[in-house]
Amino acid sequence: MPEVFYDYCDQLAQWMTHSGSSLIGAGPTPDGNASNVPVTTRGNTWYLHVLPAHRGPILLRGRPEPKTITLLRTGKSLSFKRQADGLAITLSPGLRTDLDDVVAVRWDAGFSRTP
- Per-residue pLDDT, 56: 92
**Dist. CA 50–CA 66, nearest whole Å:** 18
- Per-residue pLDDT, 110: 65
Q: What is the DSSP letter of 12?
A: H
Edge-to-edge strands, sheet with 27-28? 27-28, 39-42, 45-50, 101-106, 68-71
CATH entry 1.10.10.970 includes domain 3-106? no
**Dist. CA 104–CA 107, nearest whole Å:** 10
Do residues 40 and 28 make contact, with C-beta atoms less than 8 angstroms apart? yes
Mean pLDDT of each 10-residue bin along the chain, 115 residues long: 92 92 90 90 94 94 91 95 90 92 89 55
Give me the amino acid identity at 112.
Answer: S
